[in-house]
Amino acid sequence: MLSPRLASFALIASLVGAEHLSAQTLFVDAELTTGANDGSSWSDAYQGADGFRSALDSVTPGAEIWLTAGNYVAADASGAEAAFILFEDDVAIRGGFLGGESSPEQRPARGQAPTVLDGDILGDDLFGSTIENLSSPLSLLGASPTVDRVDVVRSGPFGGGIAVVLLDGHAELIECSMRDCTGGGLVVLGLGDTPVTFRAVDCSFENNVGPGATLTAENLVSLELDGCVSIGNLDGFYFVNGWPADTGVRNCVAYGNRDYGFRFAEPSSGDSGALVQGSTIADNGLGGILYVPLADTASPGVTVRNSILWGNGGPGAGADAQFVGQGAVPQLILSSIVQGATPSGTLYAFDPLFVDAANGDYSLQSGSPAIDRGDGVVIREGELDASRRHRAVDVASAPNLGPASMDAVDIGAFESSGAIGDNAGCAAELNSTGRAGRLFAEGSAVASSNDFALRADRLPPGQFGLFLASQQRGFAPMTGGSGTLCLGGAIGRFNGAGQIQASSTEGTLDLDVDLTAVPQPASLAAVQPGETWVFQLWHRDVVAPVGATSQFTGVAAVRFE
């Protein structure tokens, strides 16, 4: 029964791409010079920067625009500045394609095929001239837009690299970056009377002359940043004119910004405060968090939990530079490390022992007092840290000193573990333990070292499992079982002698992997430098009232060197 099910995986993965094509998918290829130039397929894709503009003009509500890697200068055919503007509702703009993919999951890993929207119209920024640069090369004016793997660079003095104006619906940015923008990186304006929501996941804001992200919460009822990084901006993240009750900053990093890591300014009297959780705010010039309340004392405050505020305000700065408030400032700091603070309760002042803060590495050294000291109760199922690795990973050598919980979670944006690669991109469903199975890649990402292992946990005990490997991602919800196959293309099965195992009584399963002989459908493959491999575990499970079924863990993706 096991083999037929797994034998069908490659067929399922080959079919799933068609399911991802929306009612209308428009294709844009920056380098294409042949074909019909009508956006109907990759071979007839709209061509160049003007092709992207044609797609925006032609798109209908509910459609998607897919862009290949390349540089799209925000100018029209005559060379005059012209922003890329989305007016239609419920449209997704997705970048990072090579061309030829039938599903976003088939794209190479983030960063390997960047789609860049460039506001440097004349191409003269290297000579110090930015005055002619186009403000807001990408403007989102329709309801419920999604932007996925699009990078914006070198915008002009007003408006930000990406401008989001929300009058209705929900906006989401996924794995986007904004850098070297004169007017700041991202500007989100929630306007009007209709409640709207905004979320940014795994986005980065770097070296912008202005805040990395400015978020104005006029009519926002939910505002979330998860796994975002802000480096070298004026302020890291700037919340102005209030923030909604559901404002959450999770697993974010703000360091090396000129003024503040976070600036919370002028909340509305009806706001109920913001949450900064599992984040690292370090080495910002004037301070870590600046809170500017309303004149009345009823202004809400900021709750800081499981976070590190360290080195802000320059050498010799103390606790007052880590959290800077004006007037009577309600604040709650829990299970956090704050430089210069008196260690009492759940507020600690111990050096977090960053690996290499001088070079921007704010992960934790072995022995850091931040390890296993956070509050695990507040961690969401499947939550990832700033490196997009699993949260709440127990380090056996570290005492669990956080508030009592079932998980041991680290303080700060980075979870300390032996894992390599990342676990983003395909969340696992809950299995019979009531938790989602997790997969870790451990050892070395240097292919020639051949020191590599896979480890799964949170599995039902005593159930057989089979590890899978592919160089492509996929997305295929299972029929006749539970969970989602997150691999595509050629899927190999580790079904050799001793490789199919049963999980331990603790719900773990381990496999040492020979990188010179990774199974593929027709042969064994040797992992090469530059390749990205994605791994997943299929396992048996028993769930009432269904009985015997099957399930998947999440994935572990590794780019080998």
| Residue among 441, 391, 395, 408 nearest 226 (CA) | 391
Query: What distance in Å separates the CA atoms of residue 193 and residue 220, rounded to the nearest whole number?
Result: 10
Query: What distance in Å separates the CA atoms of residue 66 and residue 528, rounded to the nearest whole number?
Result: 29
Q: List b or e across 285-317, with b for residues whose CB sees 16 or more CB atoms inside 10 angstroms.
A: bbbbbbbbbbeeeebbbbbbbbbbbbbbbeeeb
Q: How confident is the model at residue 16 (pLDDT cuts 50, 70, 90)?
A: very low
Q: Residues 29-50: pLDDT tens digits?
A: 999 999 999 999 999 999 988 8
pLDDT of residue 330: 57
Whether the Cβ atoms of residue 230 and residue 254 lie closer than 8 Å to each other: yes
Give the mean pLDDT of the chain: 88
The lowest-confidence range among 134-143, 338-347, 407-416, 530-539 is 338-347
pLDDT of residue 537: 97
What is the number of alpha carbons within 13 Å of residue 211 lying toward its C-beta?
20
Alpha-carbon 491 to chain mean position = 25
pLDDT of residue 220: 83
Q: Residues 99-150: pLDDT tens digits?
A: 999 999 889 989 999 999 988 877 666 555 566 677 788 999 999 999 999 9
Mean pLDDT for the stretch of residues 466-478:
92
Whether the Cβ atoms of residue 195 and residue 221 lie closer than 8 Å to each other: yes
pLDDT of residue 9: 38
pLDDT of residue 267: 63
Q: How confident is the model at residue 79 (pLDDT cuts 50, 70, 90)?
A: low
DSSP string, 17-37: HHHH--S-EEEEESS--SS--
pLDDT greater than 90 at residue 82: no
Q: 121: which 2 tokens?
A: 């119209």
Q: What CA–CA distances, in Å, run from 153 to 61, 116, 150? A: 27, 7, 10
| Residue among 254, 248, 236, 253 nearest 273 (CA) | 248
pLDDT of residue 324: 86
Determine the residue type at 69.
A
The lowest-confidence range among 93-107, 318-332, 464-478 is 318-332
pLDDT of residue 188: 93
Burial of residue 80 (number of CB atoms within 10 Å: 0-12, 13-18, 19+):
exposed
- What residue ranges in 306-421 does DSSP mark as E strands? 308-310, 323-325, 331-334, 336-338, 347-348, 354-356, 361-364, 419-420
Give the residue with greater pLDDT, 329 vs 359. 359
Q: Look up the pTM and report it.
A: 0.91
Q: How confident is the model at residue 420 (pLDDT cuts 50, 70, 90)?
A: very high
Q: Residues 502-523: pLDDT tens digits?
A: 999 999 999 999 999 999 999 9
Determine the residue type at 6.
L
Whether the Cβ atoms of residue 396 and residue 371 lie closer than 8 Å to each other: no
Query: What distance in Å separates the CA atoms of residue 48 and residue 37, rounded to the nearest whole number?
Result: 10
Q: How confident is the model at residue 80 (pLDDT cuts 50, 70, 90)?
A: low
Mean pLDDT for the stretch of residues 267-293:
84
Mean pLDDT for the stretch of residues 77-90:
81
Whether the Cβ atoms of residue 75 and residue 50 lie closer than 8 Å to each other: no
Q: Residues 345-387: pLDDT tens digits?
A: 678 889 999 999 999 999 999 999 999 999 998 999 999 999 9
Whether the Cβ atoms of residue 232 and residue 206 lie closer than 8 Å to each other: yes
Q: Out of 157-161, 267-271, 519-523, give the one with best mean pLDDT.
A: 519-523
* Residues contacting 336, CB < 8 A, separation 6+: 304, 305, 306, 307, 308, 309, 346, 347, 348, 411
Determine the residue type at 296.
D
Give the residue with greater pLDDT, 418 vs 250. 250
pLDDT greater than 60 at residue 14: no
Query: Residue 71 forms beta bridges with which residues?
Result: 116
